[in-house]
Structures are given as structure tokens and as C-alpha cells.
Amino acid sequence: MSDPALAFESITGLAAKIRAGALSPVALTEALLERIAALDGRLHAFIAVTRERALAEARAAELALRGGQDLGPLHGIPYAAKDLFDVRGVPTTAGTRLLAGNVAKEDAAVVRRLAGSGMVLVGKTYTVQFAFGGVGVNHDQGTPHNPWHSTHHVPGGSSSGSAVAVAAGLVPMALGSDTGGSVRLPAALCGTVGLKTTVGRVSRAGVYPLSFTLDSVGPLTRTVGDAALVYQALQGQDARDETTEGVQPHDVLARLEGGVRGLRLALAETLFFDDVDPEVERAVRESAGVFRSLGAQVESIKVPEAAEAMSEQKRAFAIAAEACVYNARLLDEHFDQLDPVVAHRMIGGRQLSAPDYFALHRQWAELRRRLVARLADVDALLVPTTALPAKPLAEVDRTIESYAQHNGRYLRNTAVGNILNLCGVSLPCGFTQEGLPIGLMVYAKPFQEDVALRVARAYERATEWHGRHPDLAWAAGGTRR
């Protein structure tokens, strides 16, 4: 890429350059395709590069702008989609080579929405098999390389390739899905922004499912402002996803820059700070001082609902039980060909009885009701996105026991949000002594994405963490696999 700084430009910055005539959608797309070719051999973020489609969409975007048709701030901006999202003519493998022939006949609903906003799809990114894992490891197709360290560190999952692609400057935005933390967790470990939306806000039609109850769609971006722009385009009702019916879109941009003066924020002390890496805890607690300096009221509160949600042992089988329904044929006919860690965890879902499944969901509904009541006077919660930063792949994946231990620790703080139906934003709030990113998570009540984004944006504007980028000299010259 002739201008490396361009690789880490925000969507807002790129849009301004395009409208000023300093950059064309075609030139930008060609530059990012060149960067993918140069770096992805080592990063392993992309399972498929849709070069022809990308260039065709970029040319169409450029011609439309020349003709006076401006579709908004996303017009002409390249992006990638996690390999759960259907893209017409491209396999949706969901992280397994067994689905290499699962070629999509049409685009997922959100891919169509972004096309309608003028965005340019450059490819699909690797994911954990069936999106069922938090560390980002895929023993079948390979594990993306966290760009912040030359030694292979875990990227977080399951939107692993999407986080790596954004963090490495291969695209300014990538779509992810979040069932137990799969947008926020890799965003935290790779130093990007990740938005977890409330179920019902964004259509999942055309997205390979893990858990119909908990699956949500959200963007990974470089800035909170970029996440808000993309979310604004993604939300809306879709008859093919009944969870969206009756959920009216809302404007998250109107008050995005409104700051936090007068807002009530809280450090959630129950569970979220337990057994947290000291560097992570220090960085997150220091964020409270930033918010106070911006005029917010910040206190510490107990959130017993979080501990109750995670103490129910049967919860571990709930997602697996739903996943077993979607993947029954592969589990029954090709069990030994699946990623062994994923397959053995998933098959455990068949142990959950129907009465226990029903009782668990009623328990979750009650916890959600109680939490909303508890947060009546609180606008947002502040917690560590993950209990620890990225660790070396060899350490995490040394044994099945090591994998399980790390997976649980990485997922704990994010999975609580899915169970309790919160929306949330993860954004960078510091770095470890090793130079690895630390994520701050801003949780807001259900369907209050505007609040979560506004709070996160205020912190982002007051700090410089999001402006740091990894040194990728070690990744140059690799051949794409």
C-alpha cells in the first residue's frame, strides 16, 4: 500500500477523503486488496477474497458519486464479513472444511443492507468452527494471528478473522456475530472496537446460526464513531428474522457526541473484576477517572444477577443444545472430522432435558427483569471486556484442559451480557507491558445501543488508545494460504 497511514484511517476519515476527491473508492479498494495480499499470508484473517465483486462494487460506487448519487458516509468504503454471513456465490463454511460446498445463493440481509449503503465487500474472514469458542482457535482451517505480537497469540473468537483484519489495517470494518462475546472478545484482544447489539436490533437472516436465542450481529471497527455509522445502517425490521418484528430503528448518531456530563456510570463489582489480570484491572479502573473528568458520576455497585447467571451449571449446555439442532447431521455423520474441541463441547448439549432448557430460560427472563430494575438509576456499567489479555497460542492450546480454562476466563465477562440481554461496546483502554491491548466494556440496558455508543465515544475522544497500531514488519512477505 503506497500510503500505510491510509490503512489505519477511520471510515469517517476515508469518507471525507472520498468526498473531497482526494481518494476514489476504486483506488482505496485496490490498495486494501494489495495490503491483504502482502500481509494475510501470515495473519490468516481471510478465508476468501472476493476481488472481482469488490472491484465491481467499487467501480459502481465511484460512478454513482460522479453522477451525484451519494448514499451516505459508508459509500465506497470496503469491509469484510465473518464466514457465517452468506455471500452470493461464495461458500459459507462456518469454520469447517466439511461445508466447503455450502455455496450461498443470496447475500445475508445485513450484506444487502450494506450494499444499499454503497459499501464494498472485499472478502470473508475466518471464524472458530460453528462460532463455538472464545479464544479464537480453529483446529480445522487454522487460527488467525493476533497482529500485536510476532509470536502467534490468540486473537479471541469467534469473530477472530474479522478482528485481525481490522486491527491489521486490512479493512476499516468487518462484520461479526456475538453469542457469548464473539464480537467484543476479539475486539478487546486485538485492540479494536466491537459492538454487541441487543437481539432484535439487527437481522440474522442469512447468518449461519449458533444459538437462535442469543445470536446477535455487530461490527468491528477502528473507532466508536465508525461502529455507530455501521450500526445505523444495519438495524431494522426483517420478516425473515421474527426477533426484529416490532423493533423500530433508532438514531444513534444524533447524540453520539453528546458526552457523559450528568450520566450515571457504575463499575460493576460483582464477578466482573474477580480473578482479573492486574494490568487489565488497573486500566479499566483508571477509565473511571477519565469519565469523572468528563462530568459523569461514577460509583461502584453490586450486580448479583451477574453471579447468578454464571453460577447455573446448566447454562453451559444451553447454547450447545441449540447448536446441536443446527448441526445435527454433521455431528451424527462426521463427528470424527470436526474440530475435536468444538465437537465434544457441542455434543454435550444433548444432555440438557427439555424441562431444564425451559426452566433455564425462565430463570434468565427473571434475572433480566431484576437487572433492569437494579439499573433504573444507572446509565451504563463499566467492566473489563476480558479477564486477561491475549496469550500465546501454544500456551492456550497446550492441552484440552488449558483450552477449556482459558476459554472460560475469556468468555466470562462477555457471556454475562448475552444471558442478561445487555448491549455493549468494547473499546481499547490501555496496553500491557508486552504491548498487548486491553479492552474496556461499556454495558447498557437492552435496546439502548445509543447510550452505550455515546459513553464509549466520550471515552474515546478523551484518550488516544484507539490511535495505536501494530507494527506488522514481521508479517510482510507471507504467501496467502
- Run means of pLDDT, 10 residues per run, the chain, 481 residues: 80 97 98 98 98 98 97 98 98 98 98 98 98 98 98 98 98 98 98 98 98 98 98 98 97 98 98 98 98 98 97 89 97 98 96 96 97 98 98 97 97 98 98 98 98 98 97 81 50
As given in the structure block, the three cell numbers for residue 259 are 458526552
Domains: count for the chain? 1
Give the active site residues.
82, 158, 182
- Which amino acid, 64? A
The answer to the question of residue 477 being in a domain is: no
Nearest to 404, CA basis, from 338, 344, 334: 344
Roughly what angle, to the nearest 10 degrees, separates helices 11-19 and 224-234?
80
> Is residue 480 in a domain?
no
β-bridge pairing 193-196 and 423-431: antiparallel
What element of type H or E holds 282? helix 278-293
Rounded to whole angstroms, what are the CA distances from 166 to 79, 106, 327, 343, 374? Answer: 9, 25, 29, 29, 36
**Could you give the CA distance from residue 238 to residue 269 in angstroms, rounded to a whole number?**
38
Which residue type occupies 167? Answer: A
The predicted pLDDT at position 35 comes to 97
Question: Sign of the C-alpha dihedral, residues 467, 229, 198, 296?
Answer: positive
The pLDDT score that the predictor gives to residue 4 is 74
Domain of residue 192, residue span: 4-471
**Phi, psi for residue 80 in degrees, rounded to 5:** -130, 160
CATH number for the domain including 318?
A: 3.90.1300.10
**Is 152 within a domain?**
yes
Within its chain, how far is the Cα of 253 from the centroid? 20
Domain annotation covers residue 479: no
Q: Burial of 219 by CB count in 10 Å (0-12 exposed, 13-18 middle, 19+ buried)?
A: buried
Can you give the pTM of this predicted structure? 0.98
| pLDDT at res. 478 | 65
Q: CA 437 to CA 390: how far, in whole Å?
A: 8
Q: How distant, in Å, are the alpha carbons of 216, 223, 277, 286 from that of 388? A: 24, 22, 5, 16
Q: Helix, strand or coil for residue 10? A: coil
Domain contains 60: yes
